[in-house]
Each structure stands twice: as C-alpha cells, then as structure tokens.
Structure 1
Amino acid sequence: MDIREYDGLVVVTPKDFQRIKHHHGRMIGNLPVRRLYFVGSGEVGRLLEEEKASGVIDGSIAEKALFLNEDDILPYEAVSDVISEAMQDVLFGEKAPRGLVGWYYQQFLKISYSKLCNDEYYFVWDGDTIPCREFSMFDAGGQPYLDYKQEHHKEYFNTIEKILPGMHKVIGPSFISEHMLFKTDTVKQMMSKIESNDGIKGTKYWEKIVNSLNSDLLQSNSFSEFETYGTYVALTDPMAYRLREWHSMRVAGMFFDMEKINERDFTWLGRDFTAISFEKNHYVREDCRNLFDNPEYQMKLTARQMLEVAQGAFYGGSYIEKWDYSNKDEATQKKERTVFILAGKESEKIADDLSDRLVRVGENIVVSDHHYGDFESVDAVLASDLKAVIAIGCEIPGEEGLRKRDIKCLYAGAKDETGKKPDIILPAADADEKRDWDPVVEQILALLND
C-alpha cells in the first residue's frame, strides 16, 4: 500500500477480464491501493468470485479485490442513447455499436466515480496492463505523481478546447500512461466546468463531451479522460502534482505469450518498465518468439535495449516507446542519444552486425535499412538530436551541417572511395564468416566519447 490510502478501479469487460485472469494476482498484489475494484457488468462480478473460489487469486490478497457494478456509477444505456442520438446522421435510427459506445463509456466511468469516492484521491488502471513490480504514486514528501509518456494525439486537444474553452496543450509529452491518480475534488471541479459550457448541448458533463463531437469524430475515438484531466490540472493547479516520466512496454503482447511469461521475465522487465500491456490485437509472430523471453539475451541486454532495437523494425502506426532527456544532466543526455548507422545497399548485413554489437554495450541505435526507427525518413533521423552518424559504403548527406551541430560523422570500412583511411576499420570475415568485433567496438566507443 502507498504512503496515502486510496482505492483503485479497473474498468473491464467480461471478455477482457478472462483474457488477463492469469495475472490478476500480480495486479492486485503490486498496485499501491487499499482496495482494487473491478468495474463492469454483473458478469465481471461473477467471474471475480470464481477466481477467488478457485484460488486463481491467492487467498492472502483476495479480500483486496472487490466488484463494483458499472451501472451503479453511470448507466450504460444512458450513454448509449446519447451517442446514438448524436450519430443519427449515419445510424438512421439504429443504435450505436457497443464497441464505439464502450470506448467513451469506460472513460466516463472513471470520471463519474468521483461522485462516489470519499477519499481525497482515487486511482485508475487499465485492465490490459500488468505491473512488473510495486511502485508508489506519491513522492517521499507526500506529493502525488502525474505520470506522462512520449506521445501525442492532436484530436484529443481539439476536443479539450471545445469542452473547456481556453484550455490547450501545455507540455510536450502525453498524460496517457495506462493509469492515473485522480484528485477527487479536482475531478468534480472539472466536471462542473464542462457542465457550465452553455455552448454545447446537454446538461451532464459526458453529454457535452459527446455532443461536442460529430459522427466522424465520435468514430475516431476523439476524447481522452487522462489527457483532459492532466491538461486541466496543469492549467488550473500546476503545483498539485509532481510530473514523472513513466515507462511501460505497451507492445508486450508482440513478444511474450501471456500465459507463459514468468517471474524471471517480470524481474528483468521491471528494471526498465514499471508495467507491460497485452493489447487485444497483439500476438507473437513466429519470427518474434524466443527473443525477449530468452534467458541468454536477458543476461546480456536490458529490456530497454532490446525494445529499442525491435522498434527500429516497426512499421508506421506502431506505438513507439520514447525516452525523455530533458530532466537529465548533459553527460547522461549525450550518452543516451541515438547513433545512426547509414548503410549502402551492399553493406546492410555488416551494418546489422555492427548494430547488434553496439546495442550489447548500451548504445541506442537506428539502422537505415530498418524503417528508421520511429522516424519517417533518413532526413528525419538526421534532423534529430543524434550522437553520431556511422556511414558504411555510402556518403553522409549534409555532413557539414551535422558537424556544426556537434554530431560526430564517422566512416567505417576498409577504405572509402577516395582511398583515404576510414575512421573505423571494419573487421574482415574469416572462413566461417565470423568477425572479431571486440576491438572495433572499443574503437567506436572511444570515438563516440571523445
């Protein structure tokens, strides 16, 4: 339990409750709450009692897990009716799909719970997210944390500006971090402020949120309770919370089998990530098996290092975990900046080998033949805050400008086309196609840290 007492909510459907059932014990045991309420339909309550009776949830923590019927907070049908009415230009008398209504309904439940809460704070946690370890939502002095991650969805802020005129995005990162510690009175004040907006149809805050969006925007999931509350706090009471960068592995379902992940995996993951998520549409592809859950790799690499390499091969639209350097000293910032390996067509294999070796010693690497990490193009990578560019079998575009920005530009190979000795002499392959990388890595590290 945390240094302050408060309850937690997990809003979940019966199907998702069953999907995560193997990890409810870890969720209940590691979350810093007095009691954890699973909020959903009556079926969720029945499934929770089954888990307790069967021992899926250990008896020592079973009393901490409780059920709260969603309709006792806010009736589903009321929200469904308002959304259906707002979308009649495309529904033509039909009801809005349950999946669409559910996106907004689960967020409204988290906000509306403030009317039932008797504590100063309450905590919400996403039902598909598993804590790797224990953590606190308060610092040692008793100030609560407002956690953030590195992402941005513009439409959420367009909605905020409609429902809370004058409010706007105030920090670069996002308050969407799979959880939030709400201050009860502040949530009530925010609801009241939204309800006082006479320019939008409706009386209740959630009616006004729905009616601020047209059919296209409603279908695009254009509201975030976390982003709205975080922005409201930042603009009305900026000293109420302490900002904290939060790291969770949202793509765990792409690398771990949810039923096979074990305590060793969680311990390893917990050194870099507070939590991991198993999203419904994620699954482990054949070429991704035996990677993150491989004990040999776990001994040599951190979870962050492996994820950063994996993200280099993600396609557009995939969520990318990012790290913020703004609160770190200059030496740490320099150490953690990216090294971009730019490879000619004939040099891609050796570039991949070099990347693998540098990742093992803690460098953050993007390779040009891996879709540029979370960048859109080579130009986008080169415009970022790089530590160095290493070119193999090609020229470095805009080299003069990069050097002026104090970005090291290094050439690797046997020799370049001008006949000059390169900065880095790459090892030749032996008869078995093996290369002695150790002296090369030492040379590169010396150059990078010079």
Structure 2
Amino acid sequence: MTRSAKKAFYSSIKIDVLIPAIEKDLGTLPYVIDSIRKQVKHPIGRIMVVSPPSKRIQALCRRKNCTFINEKRVLPITKEDIHYQTKRTNRSGWLLQQLLKLAGGNLTRKRYYLVIDADTILIRPHVFLVNGKTVFYCRNWSRPEYFRTYRKLLGTKPTASRSFVAHYMLFDKWKLSRLKRTIEARQKTRWYWAIIKKTNKQSYAGFSEFETYGNFVKAHYPGHLVIRSSLNKSFSSNPAALTRKGIFRLAQKYRSLSFHKRSWYIRKKGVRK
C-alpha cells in the first residue's frame, strides 16, 4: 500500500468521542463503544458517555474504560426547561440530546470531537479528517422542518444537496463556536435558548444538530469538507444476534448499522420510557 493510500485509512489527529445516552440505550451502547475503538482510525482520547445519573450506565463506563458525565454538567438547562410536547409524545429529551452534542466542546481540550448516537454501530473503518478537511457522511433524504428551523436561526437557506443526518459527525470546535456566535448575534439570546424557541413544537422532529452544523460548514467553509455516502442500514433486532460473518457480509454494502427500535430491550429488561 502506498503512503497516500495509508493516509486515506488513518489520521494522526487525536480526537475525543461523545455519546449521549439513557438507560434504554444499554442494549446497544456496549457495541457502539467497541465499534468506535475498532473502526475509528484516529488516536482516541476519551470516550465520554453523557447521561442522566444512572448506576447502570456508570458501571458500563467503568467496564469499558469510558468517562461517565452527568448531563447536568454540560448545559445550564434540563429536559424540564424545554417543554417540547407533541400530540403523541414528549420530545424534550430528544431535543436535549441534540443540545448536549452541540455543547460537547466544553468537555474536551481537543479541537475535534466525534459525536455518535447510542444506537449506531460502525462496521467499516472511518476517517474523519483528510488533508485538513472534515469528512461528512451524508444521506439522500431529510425532513423539511430541519431546514425551516435552520432558516429561522440563521436567516439563510441551507445549500447542501444531501442530508448531513447520518447518526454521527465530527465537530470542529472553532467552526462550531462561530455557528453559536452567529445564532446568538441574530437571536439576541444564548444559542440553546434560540434553538428551543425556534423549533416547531408541533413537529415530531423540528430540529437537527447535524443538519444545522453541516450546512453551516458548507456555507462558510466550502473548501473544508469532503462528502461521502453514509451507507447506513436500520435494524429492529438485538445487535447481539449479529455474527462476525453477518457483520462482514453487511460491511460489503454498508458503513454502519442503527438499531432504532429497541422494544426488544425494553421488554427484556423492563426499562421504562
């Protein structure tokens, strides 16, 4: 393998990792952590699991050599401050997790930190920085409400032709700080209050942290990003049922697997929503 080919599969830039989680993620979280250590081709500093107080998640962090962080340390607001209730369900916790991801730069001294959802397992090698550019893994569809909220916050239309909502993303703290300052200058309030205020509470999914940051980077740093297809596949089964042979076969076509429907874990463990 040539030197340039090796660079495509490895980066010497050290990053931290942030995973927001709650107890119903315990069925997938161990696999997520293992996949990060295997498939992220950067030197990894800390893997931080941000969660409400939970003895079970703390025990998992000790077992997996991760750092447990109480979510109350990350932001000066809690789920009770958000009041995001649709006709069918309360989405306050869902929106809080996105705000925690955007606030993750306060938890690390490194310039870059990777955020990944607690239900998404990487099955192929990933590099997130190539020749000084951030690699964004994208898909072909999104929700119109994400773009409406982006325009409310920033006053401009998003210009990306693909969606940045791919369940994981590398954040550059310098660019993220500029995004927050831009929101605050326009909205005359702290960035998290602005997002809460501008998110349509009648919509099931009214805001996307990944869509917002990705489109901001594309608009203000057009030469600083590389776009690749996310190649993600959704599953509703238990990740423990996957064999090495099965993962190898899936990796021929996909980069990651997401286990969105975790009713199997809720039924098995009796975890309450």
TM-score (norm 2): 0.83
What CA distance in whole angstroms lies between the structure 2 residues aligned with 1:112 and 1:72?
10
Post-superposition shift, 1:223?
0.3
Structure-2 change in CA distance of 1:34 and 1:164 (3 Å):
same
Q: Does the 8 Å CA contact 2:36/2:122 hold for their aligned counterparts? A: no
Q: Does the 8 Å CA contact 1:191/1:205 hold for their aligned counterparts? A: yes
Report matched runs for 1:215-230 at 5 Å.
Answer: 215-217=201-203, 220-230=204-214
Structure-2 change in CA distance of 1:19 and 1:194 (3 Å):
same
1:271-314 superposed Cα distances (whole Å, 9 cap, x missing partner): 2211101112677xxxxxxxxxxxxxxxxxxxxxxxxxxxxxxx
Post-superposition shift, 1:145?
0.6
Post-superposition shift, 1:42?
2.0
Post-superposition shift, 1:147?
1.8
1:327-352 superposed Cα distances (whole Å, 9 cap, x missing partner): xxxxxxxxxxxxxxxxxxxxxxxxxx
TM-score (norm 1): 0.52
Q: Which residue of 1 aligns with 2:111?
A: 120
What CA distance in whole angstroms lies between the structure 1 residues aligned with 2:161 and 2:263?
28
Post-superposition shift, 1:265?
1.1
**Which stretch of structure 1 is more off in the superposition, 182-191 or 18-27?**
18-27
- The residue type paired with residue 260 of structure 1 is A
Structure-2 change in CA distance of 1:177 and 1:24 (3 Å):
closer
Q: Which residue of 1 aligns with 2:146?
A: 156
Q: Secondary structure at the match of 1:216?
A: coil
Any gaps of 5 or more consecutive residues in structure 1? Answer: 92-96, 284-450
Q: Does the 8 Å CA contact 1:22/1:259 hold for their aligned counterparts? A: no
Q: Which residue of 2 aligns with 1:354?
A: none
Q: Which residue of 2 aligns with 1:194?
A: 183
What CA distance in whole angstroms lies between the structure 1 residues aligned with 2:104 and 2:68?
14
Q: Does the 8 Å CA contact 1:8/1:37 hold for their aligned counterparts? A: yes
- The residue type paired with residue 51 of structure 1 is L
Q: Which residue of 2 aligns with 1:267?
A: 248
Bigger RCO (CA 8 Å, 6+ sep): 2
Q: Does the 8 Å CA contact 1:124/1:180 hold for their aligned counterparts? A: yes
Q: Secondary structure at the match of 2:103?
A: helix
Structure-2 change in CA distance of 1:193 and 1:21 (3 Å):
closer
Any gaps of 5 or more consecutive residues in structure 2? Answer: 1-9, 265-273
Report matched runs for 1:290-439 at 5 Å.
Answer: none
Q: Does the 8 Å CA contact 1:11/1:40 hold for their aligned counterparts? A: yes
What CA distance in whole angstroms lies between the structure 2 residues aligned with 1:257 and 1:281?
8
Q: Which residue of 2 aligns with 1:183?
A: 172
Structure-2 change in CA distance of 1:119 and 1:158 (3 Å):
same
Q: Secondary structure at the match of 1:15?
A: helix
Instruction: Give the counterpart of 1:231 among 182, 204, 215.
Output: 215
Q: Which residue of 2 aligns with 1:71?
A: 72
What CA distance in whole angstroms lies between the structure 2 residues aligned with 1:10 and 1:203?
27
What CA distance in whole angstroms lies between the structure 1 residues aligned with 2:145 and 2:244?
39
Post-superposition shift, 1:27?
2.7
Q: Which has the higher strand share?
A: 2
Report matched runs for 1:198-209 at 5 Å.
Answer: 198=187, 203-209=189-195
Q: Which residue of 2 aligns with 1:252?
A: 235
| Number of residue pairs matched by the alignment | 251
Post-superposition shift, 1:234?
0.8
Q: Secondary structure at the match of 1:147?
A: strand
- The residue type paired with residue 232 of structure 1 is F
What CA distance in whole angstroms lies between the structure 2 residues aligned with 1:192 and 1:142?
23
Q: Which residue of 2 aligns with 1:446?
A: none
Structure-2 change in CA distance of 1:25 and 1:163 (3 Å):
closer
Q: Secondary structure at the match of 2:121?
A: strand
Q: Secondary structure at the match of 2:202?
A: helix
Instruction: Give the counterpart of 1:3 among 9, 12, 33.
Output: 12
Instruction: Give the counterpart of 1:107 among 78, 98, 121.
Output: 98
What CA distance in whole angstroms lies between the structure 1 residues aligned with 2:142 and 2:197?
23
What CA distance in whole angstroms lies between the structure 1 residues aligned with 2:50 and 2:39?
16
1:98-130 superposed Cα distances (whole Å, 9 cap, x missing partner): x41111100000111223332111110010011
Q: Which residue of 2 aligns with 1:330?
A: none
Q: Secondary structure at the match of 2:222?
A: coil
Q: Is 1:132 aligned to residue 135 of structure 2? A: no
What CA distance in whole angstroms lies between the structure 2 residues aligned with 1:158 and 1:26?
36
What CA distance in whole angstroms lies between the structure 1 residues aligned with 2:249 and 2:229?
20
1:198-252 superposed Cα distances (whole Å, 9 cap, x missing partner): 4xxx6211111121245424xx221000000011111111112222222111x22
Calculate percent identity across the aligned residue pairs.
Answer: 24
Post-superposition shift, 1:41?
1.4
Q: Secondary structure at the match of 1:221?
A: coil
Q: Does the 8 Å CA contact 2:16/2:113 hold for their aligned counterparts? A: yes
Q: Does the 8 Å CA contact 1:26/1:131 hold for their aligned counterparts? A: no
What CA distance in whole angstroms lies between the structure 2 residues aligned with 1:269 and 1:180?
21
Instruction: Give the counterpart of 1:276 among 254, 257, 267.
Output: 257
Structure-2 change in CA distance of 1:35 and 1:112 (3 Å):
same
What CA distance in whole angstroms lies between the structure 2 residues aligned with 1:184 and 1:24?
23
Q: Secondary structure at the match of 1:196?
A: helix
Query: Cα RMSD between the aligned structures?
Result: 2.5
Q: Does the 8 Å CA contact 2:235/2:261 hold for their aligned counterparts? A: no
Moved over 4 A (4+): none
Instruction: Give the counterpart of 1:27 among 9, 16, 35.
Output: 35
What CA distance in whole angstroms lies between the structure 1 residues aligned with 2:115 and 2:34?
16
**Which stretch of structure 1 is more off in the superposition, 203-212 or 172-181?**
203-212
Structure-2 change in CA distance of 1:114 and 1:25 (3 Å):
closer
Q: Is 1:170 aligned to residue 170 of structure 2? A: no
